[in-house]
Amino acid sequence: MGKIVINGGKRLFGSVCIHGAKNAVLPVMAASLMNEGVTVIRGCPDIADVRAMCGILNHLHCKTDFKKGCLVIDTSMAEYEEIKAEDTKQLRASSVLMGPVLARFGKVRLAYPGGCSIGSRPLDIHLHALKCLGASWSVSEDFIEMETTGLHPSEITLRFPSVGATENALMAAAAQCGTTVLYNAAKEPEIESLCAYLEKCGAVITGAGTECVRVRGKGVLQSAEFFAKPDRIVAGTYMAAVAACGGSVYLQGVTPSLCRGFLDVFTGMGMDIRMEGEAMLVQMYHRPVNLHKICTGAYPDFPTDMQSMVLSVASVGEGTLILKEQIFENRFKYVDELNRMGSKIKVEGNTAYIEGVSGFTGAQLAAPDLRAGAALVLAALAADGISEIEDIEYIQRGYEDFEGKLRSLGALIERVDSERD
């Protein structure tokens, strides 16, 4: 396992290009299985989760070719295989393979992706949606098995607007003849991106990005090209880095609408944000001012994936913040790491109480998951002195060259091989 060494306290200046959205590209990669042709994904991020999904597609006898941000997937020779446990365990997004594999092959057996450190992450909503569409399933301790004698249109209501369950339902619906209506669908931008791809494959979709989506499939989907939008959470991560460290950074390709749900949090904390040409300029020249209370929620509320980054900023902000996590049940595991740096944070149930401190010091840290790992990097950049962050493989799942881009902004940050290996 690698580690990152940071000498904090430097302000950030320069320009950074925000890579394509992980959570938009992964479902499109899964959906490519349904068109028995070629899918071209432009602006594809070179991150561990994309490489892992390519590995699963190769296991299903698909060809993948990834060069300079362009991923070409040929699924014309795809054959059914069980999806290996070691693959689904490393990639939570493997859950969105259920719909496409079921639609293509009439059956699917995959090791339970399971939870990770942010929560149990059950799949009951996915299974309910696919059962409505004609699948029968059984779940053992370790595996999910599903089969169908033929998917059929349906009217489906999700008990919660699950992003992954919405994606599985939309994909399975798009691959068959007839109209399916999905109520209480997730409204995240990544859902709209997936619907745009499915329409290019031949489905007719109305209501994408709203709580009611209608999908009219034509039974056969054709080859298509997909252009990934910038990753809004990665953009928010660099905004949080500037908020915590101070400075002035251009975020290439980012617009205020991409940052819906968290832009107002940063402006409220005192950040200046304006467009200059194709870039969004974010500037912070004083200590952040903490807001009273923030609650995470389904889009367009404040996104759970930004929770840990904003908490890192609030740790050095002026005043107190109450941050309530309403999506996942265990997403404050990194708080102990911040408190070892001198933060004053108390967690009670799903709520964190933060008392901003005027500065904190570097420490030996370990990344517990993807977004918490990014948050620890931000905290280390803002801290005085040296920090070392282990288990950076989590961070590499969702951030392309994170340390290289931060270094280009003036951060003193290096990646080294960990002695633990």
Residues with a catalytic annotation lie at: 116
- Residue at 8: amino acid letter: G
Say whether residue 328 binds ligand EPZ (CB under 6 A). Answer: yes
Say whether residue 398 binds ligand EPZ (CB under 6 A). Answer: yes
Say whether residue 314 binds ligand EPZ (CB under 6 A). Answer: no
- Residue at 376: amino acid letter: L
For tokens 């090209």, name the residue.
225
Say whether residue 304 binds ligand EPZ (CB under 6 A). Answer: yes
Say whether residue 112 binds ligand EPZ (CB under 6 A). Answer: no
Task: Write out the H or E segment, with its range, that includes residue 284.
Answer: strand 279-284
Q: Nearest distance from residue 184's CB to ligand EPZ, in Å?
A: 12
Q: How many helices (H) and strands (E) does the chain have?
A: 14, 23
Say whether residue 360 binds ligand EPZ (CB under 6 A). Answer: no
Task: Kindly tell me which of 91 and 280 has the beta carbon lying closer to ligand EPZ.
Answer: 91
Task: Kindly tell me which of 29 and 382 has the beta carbon lying closer to ligand EPZ.
Answer: 29
Angle between helices 22-31 and 232-245 (to 10 degrees): 160
Length of the chain: 421
Cα within 13 Å of Cα(269), Cβ side: 33
| Beta-bridge partners for 346 | 353
**Among residues 358, 313, 312, which one has the least CA distance to residue 332?**
312
For tokens 């952040």, name the residue.
288
CB 126 within 8 A of CB 95: yes
Say whether residue 122 binds ligand EPZ (CB under 6 A). Answer: yes
Q: Nearest distance from residue 296's CB to ligand EPZ, in Å?
A: 9
Cis amide prior to 300 (ω within 30 degrees) = yes
Query: Which range binds ligand EPZ by CB under 6 A, 34-42, 79-87, 155-163, 241-249?
Result: 155-163
In angstroms, rounded to a whole number, what is the distance separating the alpha carbons of residues 147 and 411? 51
Residues in 156-175 that interact with ligand EPZ by CB under 6 A: 160, 162-165
Query: Based on the number of CB atoms within 10 Å of its own CB, is 162 exposed (0-12), middle (13-18) or buried (19 or more)?
Result: buried
CB 381 within 8 A of CB 241: yes
Helix (H, G, I), strand (E, B) or coil at 224: strand
Say whether residue 390 binds ligand EPZ (CB under 6 A). Answer: no
Cα within 13 Å of Cα(88), Cβ side: 20
Task: Kindly tell me which of 100 and 398 has the beta carbon lying closer to ligand EPZ.
Answer: 398
Say whether residue 124 binds ligand EPZ (CB under 6 A). Answer: yes
Binding mask 192-221 for ligand EPZ (x = CB under 6 A): ------------------------------
Q: Find the binder of ligand EPZ among 32, 133, 237, 305 (CB under 6 A).
A: 305
Q: Nearest distance from residue 96's CB to ligand EPZ, in Å?
A: 7
| Beta-bridge partners for 224 | 39
Query: Based on the number of CB atoms within 10 Å of its own CB, is 101 exposed (0-12), middle (13-18) or buried (19 or more)?
Result: buried
Q: Nearest distance from residue 129's CB to ligand EPZ, in Å?
A: 9
In angstroms, rounded to a whole number, what is the distance separating the alpha carbons of residues 273 and 263? 9
For tokens 């594809």, name the residue.
44
Distance of CA 51 to the CA centre of its chain: 15
Residues in 14-53 that interact with ligand EPZ by CB under 6 A: 22-23, 26
Q: Nearest distance from residue 6's CB to ligand EPZ, in Å?
A: 21
Q: Find the binder of ligand EPZ among 93, 130, 269, 306 (CB under 6 A).
A: 93
Task: Kindly tell me which of 19 and 126 has the beta carbon lying closer to ligand EPZ.
Answer: 126
Q: Find the binder of ligand EPZ among 89, 107, 121, 260 (CB under 6 A).
A: 121
What is the distance between the terminal CA atoms of the chain, rounded to a whole angstrom?
A: 6
Task: Kindly tell me which of 116 and 357 has the beta carbon lying closer to ligand EPZ.
Answer: 116
CB 165 within 8 A of CB 156: no
Q: Nearest distance from residue 147's CB to ligand EPZ, in Å?
A: 19
Task: Kindly tell me which of 25 and 363 has the beta carbon lying closer to ligand EPZ.
Answer: 25
Say whether residue 327 binds ligand EPZ (CB under 6 A). Answer: yes
Give me the residue whose beta carbon is nearest to ligand EPZ: 164
Which residues touch 283 (CB under 8 Å, ≥6 apart)? Answer: 242, 247, 248, 249, 271, 272, 273
Q: Nearest distance from residue 213's CB to ligand EPZ, in Å?
A: 15
Task: Kindly tell me which of 123 and 269 has the beta carbon lying closer to ligand EPZ.
Answer: 123
Say whether residue 308 binds ligand EPZ (CB under 6 A). Answer: no
Q: Nearest distance from residue 24's CB to ligand EPZ, in Å?
A: 8
Q: Which residues contact ligand EPZ (rule: CB under 6 A)?
A: 22-23, 26, 93, 119, 121-126, 160, 162-165, 304-305, 327-328, 370-371, 398
